[in-house]
Amino acid sequence: MEIDEAREVRTTCPYCGVGCGVLAKVAADGQVSVRGDPDHPANFGRLCSKGSALAETIGLDGRLLHPQIHDHGSSWDEALDLVASTFSQTIAEHGPDAVAFYVSGQLLTEDYYVANKLMKGFVGSANIDTNSRLCMASSVAGHRRAFGSDTVPGTYEDLELSDLIVLVGSNLAWCHPVLYQRIAAAREKRPEMKVVLVDPRRTMTSDIADMHLAIAPDGDVALFTGLLAWLGQHNALDRAYITAHTSGFGQALFAASALNLAGVAAATGLSEDELGRFYSLFARTEKTVTVYSQGVNQSSQGTDKVNAIINCHLATGRIGKPGAGPFSVTGQPNAMGGREVGGMANMLAAHMEIENPEHRERVQRFWNAPAIAGKPGLKAVDMFKAVADGRIKALWIMATNPVDSMPDAAAVEAAIKACPFVVVSDVLAETDTVRHAHVRLPATAWGEKDGTVTNSERRISRQRAFLPVPGEARPDWWIIAEVARRMGFDEAFAHETPAEIFAEHAALSGFENDGARDFDIGAYAGVDREDYDALAPFQWPAPSPGTPLTPTGHQSTRFFANGNFYTPDRKARFIAIRPTVETRITSDFPLILNTGRIRDHWHTMTRTGKSPRLSQHIAEPFVEIHPVDAQHHGIGDADIARVSTPRGEVLVRALVTTRQRQGSLFAPMHWTDQFAARARLDTLTASLTDPVSGQPALKHVAASIEKFTARTFGFAVTRKRPATMAADYWAVARCRGGWRVELAFANDDVDWTAFAGSLFDTADAEVLAYHDREAGQHRIAAFDGEHLTGALFIAPGPVAVSRGWAAEQLGEVHASQRQRFRIVAGRAGAGRPDAGATVCSCFNVGVNQITAAVAAGCATVDVIGATLKAGTNCGSCRSEIRAIIAANRIQAAE
Ligand code: SF4
């Protein structure tokens, strides 16, 4: 397809760390459409379900468009003056460590740079930390321990060039879908390529795995320490690389050798046979990439896990070579950009070290700053503890929602509520965090803002604006710089464009950098606005003339194939690790709760929750439980379950599945008080952190589960979002034309007509109702002329109404009384089969349709695609389609 350059803007997806290129187009009628950028080297035109639905998330409903002070509208001048004067006064009275910024991997690099500069160089504190602490801090710590720098050695291309990919704690199919698709496509071309999945759950990613190691939670340190010992015992080491480029190997091997295979089996829950097969596959495959993400990082042993993996790659010399290396993939779109500017409490800027006096002096001199933070600041968990105990008296939260996403979230909410001065910059007027702010500052959103982001393979890409700035929203960098100027730092924050900030950031990276620092984009120090606008995606370090192009025609850089690490002796450090097995379960909390993400939602749903398409795949908070555990705890499929930990409890839908490991539960972290009655998952997690990285252990929480005894269940569709829902359990999700609502009640003593009136407008409507009090069945529908305004279905058990059909009725014309009564009957007419739960969000294809197609002879994902179109756009559902085909095959064979 020809690109209409005049109207299509090249930008970058704002969700995950894959960092896909997006082409966004605004039609003459204002309609926005997006497609994958075929020229972007992260995705080559692909987009996943979230990226494909970006156009559905940019509406202005719910946006914060004007500054507010204490719930009242204010001018920008008033709001900025108040923020600047309160921060200045707090610093003057209580010192620089009495203030803090809690920022986000959603910020662009330019925003991040300015925030870090203000806090570390001008306030003189390092109390700036980020939600990236929850995402990949353990990878940063592991990189720095081993390499002396936070360097990702490899590139995405390595995934395609490898002969073995080991995926550790990484559900790529749902969390980094385009990387999953690149691997799946490479495997189709080279079926001899092997994939091993190391994960307690049999996630959707298992469909491309030759081997699934259903490891015990936190068994990874033992697994990779055992692998190091195996490599030593089986003469599978690269002695030349170890000698020339590393230190500490002897101690690391000695520590690893303390664990025999039986010990590894006990610590991992894997059989010796499984371990032997995996270890020998790893040992004999030169081109091996180990990919890891949150399953490794979000652990009280996260840094040791990272180093246990890196140890194995150093020992085999498999690092920084085409098709070989350890590979941390980040959750957030700009976690890497944040790391580059030093936007974490224990980093400086441009990958310099806060503990190093020479680095501190250099950065201070470059910034011409009055101060420089002399020690690391408070990491996220400790930062909110300091807010709670009053050490931090003024807090500025930017582009993140800690009330939902921090561990021990109820305590974090209480701390924010009690803090004397809280500023929140956000795009939404109502989130669980924004509601507690004294000052709310409206920020520009994706599509309106301009800057750069860095993806997991160190590739810097532009996010470009293609929409007008609404209301009085302003870019984050502008807001921070305005506050800095009002605090008296005019000259240092005189930037007028993000291009100027990027140029300064680039200049700092190259400043007195004689090759002793990995991050160097100094070649871009001179960019002007025009260069910046035209900036094509590039990997750091900035390419030097003559860098050879890859087969795909892009410049690509790797680190460490020939050593040259960033330690004082330029050698990588092996870390001696002795695995420990932690038992957290007790008789009261006998199960291990693992928290994570789903395919079609992102973080706390502030963006994806706006999209009907994305809300249909999974419309409720849920908990996965193994059938044996479900039976033991009296839980049936689709029951409402109460999951409890010593911190709190949530009510979520039970999903009984053998994909879940026995003894463990899995629940997603996306639902907030905006979308469900009681499903804030991080109210369950504790503030236990990794001792090196400070990253919270969000995947290993002792929990209990019991059935919530509901006497009545309900389902509703409504054109307007209900203001209140007086039910013990509720969950709302967008659908085309309105909202769908799941409900459950502990009693059946409810006036259902009045309840329907609380969900949708019945006062001036034609109301049709069916009540069978004996059977506990009630159905109430309200019409505004020929249009349905809402329908409520009540039953003593889970409501057997097709959700997809009911939601569609909001957009249909119900001209005749007979059509209107069909709603109250709760069923589609003849010839309208129930599509079932949505599998393919792009073409709205349900599980029942795919099952029927399989029964009719469609035996492959491609044939299903040709028949139903499912899986033919973004491809995110292809693993689920494959699973449905396999399940039906098994059923047919039984
Ligand atoms: S994989 Fe999906 S969410 Fe991630 S950057 Fe690409 S399109 Fe966006």
CA 614 from chain centre, in angstroms, equals: 15
Q: Give the atom of ligand 1 at the shortest distance from the alpha carbon of 15.
A: 3
Q: Give the atom of ligand 1 at the shortest distance from the alpha carbon of 177.
A: 1
Query: Which of 34, 50, 456 most suits a substitution to test ligand 1, by most atoms within 8 Å of the C-beta?
Result: 50
Measured in Å, residue 178 CA sits from the centre of ligand 1 at 6
Residue by residue, DSSP assigns 490-506 as: TGGG---SHHHHHHHHH
Residue among 131, 127, 690, 137 at smallest CA distance from 354: 127
Residue among 292, 288, 324 at smallest CA distance from 306: 292
Query: Which of 11, 12, 16 most suits a substitution to test ligand 1, by most atoms within 8 Å of the C-beta?
Result: 16
Q: What three-state secondary structure class fits 163?
A: coil
Q: Give the atom of ligand 1 at the shortest distance from the alpha carbon of 179.
A: 1
Instruction: Give this prediction's pTM.
Output: 0.94
Pairwise CA distance, residues 317 & 772, whole Å: 72
Pairwise CA distance, residues 512 & 527, whole Å: 19
Backbone CA torsion sign across 382, 385, 391, 395: positive
- The residue whose two tokens read 């790529």 is 172
- pLDDT at position 828 is 64
Query: Which of 22, 46, 48, 876 most suits a substitution to test ligand 1, by most atoms within 8 Å of the C-beta?
Result: 48
Residue among 214, 215, 236 at smallest CA distance from 227: 236
| Ligand 1 pocket member 18 (CB < 6 A) | yes
- pLDDT at position 554 is 56
In this structure, are residues 604 and 405 in contact, taking their beta carbons and an 8 Å threshold?
yes
Measured in Å, residue 89 CA sits from the centre of ligand 1 at 43
Q: Which residues, listed in sequence order, are joined to residue 12 by a DSSP beta bridge?
A: 21
Residue 130 exposed, middle or buried by CB count within 10 Å (0-12, 13-18, 19+):
buried
The beta strands (E) that lie in 818-862 are given as 838-840, 845-846
Closest Cα to atom 6, ligand 1: which residue?
20
Closest Cα to atom 4, ligand 1: which residue?
16
| Ligand 1 pocket member 781 (CB < 6 A) | no
| Ligand 1 pocket member 51 (CB < 6 A) | yes
Measured in Å, residue 54 CA sits from the centre of ligand 1 at 10
| Ligand 1 pocket member 23 (CB < 6 A) | no
The two three-digit tokens of residue 362, written as one number: 């250099």
Measured in Å, residue 506 CA sits from the centre of ligand 1 at 26
Pairwise CA distance, residues 661 & 663, whole Å: 6
Q: Give the atom of ligand 1 at the shortest distance from the alpha carbon of 47.
A: 7
What are the residues whose beta carbons fall under 8 Å from the beta carbon of 239, sequence distance 6 or more? none
In this structure, are residues 148 and 565 in contact, taking their beta carbons and an 8 Å threshold?
yes
Pairwise CA distance, residues 734 & 718, whole Å: 10
Q: Give the atom of ligand 1 at the shortest distance from the alpha carbon of 49.
A: 2
Q: What three-state secondary structure class fits 867?
A: helix
Pairwise CA distance, residues 441 & 444, whole Å: 10
Measured in Å, residue 507 CA sits from the centre of ligand 1 at 30
Measured in Å, residue 37 CA sits from the centre of ligand 1 at 12
What are the residues whose beta carbons fall under 8 Å from the beta carbon of 147, sequence distance 6 or more? 153, 559, 560, 565, 566, 567, 572, 573
Q: Cβ atoms within 10 A of the Cβ of 45, count?
A: 15
Pairing between strand 538-539 and 459-463?
A: antiparallel
Measured in Å, residue 46 CA sits from the centre of ligand 1 at 9
- For 123, how many CA atoms within 13 A lie in the half-sphere containing its CB? 32
Q: Consecutive sets of 10 residues in the chain, 894 residues long: mean pLDDT of each? A: 62 96 93 95 95 95 97 97 98 98 96 98 98 95 97 96 97 95 95 97 94 96 98 98 98 96 97 98 98 96 98 98 96 90 94 96 98 97 98 98 97 98 97 97 97 97 97 98 98 97 97 92 92 93 59 71 96 95 92 94 91 90 97 95 97 95 96 95 96 96 97 96 93 95 93 95 92 93 95 93 91 89 76 74 84 85 88 82 78 58
Q: Give the atom of ligand 1 at the shortest distance from the alpha carbon of 12.
A: 5
Pairwise CA distance, residues 679 & 621, whole Å: 7
- pLDDT at position 848 is 84
In this structure, are residues 630 and 654 in contact, taking their beta carbons and an 8 Å threshold?
yes
- pLDDT at position 5 is 46
| Ligand 1 pocket member 19 (CB < 6 A) | yes
Closest Cα to atom 2, ligand 1: which residue?
48
Q: Cβ atoms within 10 A of the Cβ of 797, count?
A: 12
| Ligand 1 pocket member 177 (CB < 6 A) | yes
Q: Give the atom of ligand 1 at the shortest distance from the alpha carbon of 51.
A: 7
| Ligand 1 pocket member 178 (CB < 6 A) | yes
Residue among 649, 62, 688 at smallest CA distance from 406: 688
Enclosing H/E stretch for 197: strand 194-198
* CA angle, 260 then 262 then 264, to 5°: 70
| Ligand 1 pocket member 16 (CB < 6 A) | yes
Pairing between strand 664-668 and 766-772?
A: unpaired
Q: Give the atom of ligand 1 at the shortest distance from the alpha carbon of 43.
A: 6
Q: Cβ atoms within 10 A of the Cβ of 875, count?
A: 25
Measured in Å, residue 42 CA sits from the centre of ligand 1 at 9
- What b-and-e string marks burial along 586-598, b requiring 16 or more CB atoms within 10 Å of the CB? eeebebbbbbbbb
| Ligand 1 pocket member 48 (CB < 6 A) | yes
- For 646, how many CA atoms within 13 A lie in the half-sphere containing its CB? 12
Residue among 813, 857, 853, 861 at smallest CA distance from 833: 853
Pairwise CA distance, residues 643 & 590, whole Å: 11
- pLDDT at position 644 is 98
Q: What three-state secondary structure class fits 320?
A: coil
The two three-digit tokens of residue 862, written as one number: 């491609």
- The residue whose two tokens read 């779109």 is 333
Pairwise CA distance, residues 855 & 870, whole Å: 16
Q: Which residues, listed in sequence order, are joined to residue 846 by a DSSP beta bridge?
A: 838
User: Could you give the residue ranges of the DSSP H alpha helices within 207-356?
Assistant: 220-233, 239-245, 249-257, 261-268, 272-284, 294-297, 302-315, 335-341
Pairwise CA distance, residues 436 & 789, whole Å: 33
Residue among 543, 485, 578 at smallest CA distance from 122: 485
- The residue whose two tokens read 């379900």 is 49
Pairwise CA distance, residues 90 & 63, whole Å: 30
Measured in Å, residue 204 CA sits from the centre of ligand 1 at 17
Pairwise CA distance, residues 728 & 653, whole Å: 13
Phi, psi angles (nearest 5°) of residue 498: -65, -25
The distance in angstroms from the start CA to the end CA of the chain is: 47
Q: Give the atom of ligand 1 at the shortest distance from the alpha carbon of 455.
A: 5
Helix axes 220-233, 249-257, angle to 10 degrees: 110
Helix axes 302-315, 220-233, angle to 10 degrees: 20
Measured in Å, residue 175 CA sits from the centre of ligand 1 at 8
- What b-and-e string marks burial along 226-265, b requiring 16 or more CB atoms within 10 Å of the CB? bbbbbbbbeebbbeebbeebbebbeebbebbeebebebbb
- pLDDT at position 800 is 87
| Ligand 1 pocket member 20 (CB < 6 A) | yes
Helix axes 409-418, 380-388, angle to 10 degrees: 50
- The residue whose two tokens read 């907030």 is 672
| Ligand 1 pocket member 874 (CB < 6 A) | no
| Ligand 1 pocket member 50 (CB < 6 A) | yes
Query: Which of 12, 20, 329, 842 most suits a substitution to test ligand 1, by most atoms within 8 Å of the C-beta?
Result: 20
Q: What three-state secondary structure class fits 693?
A: coil
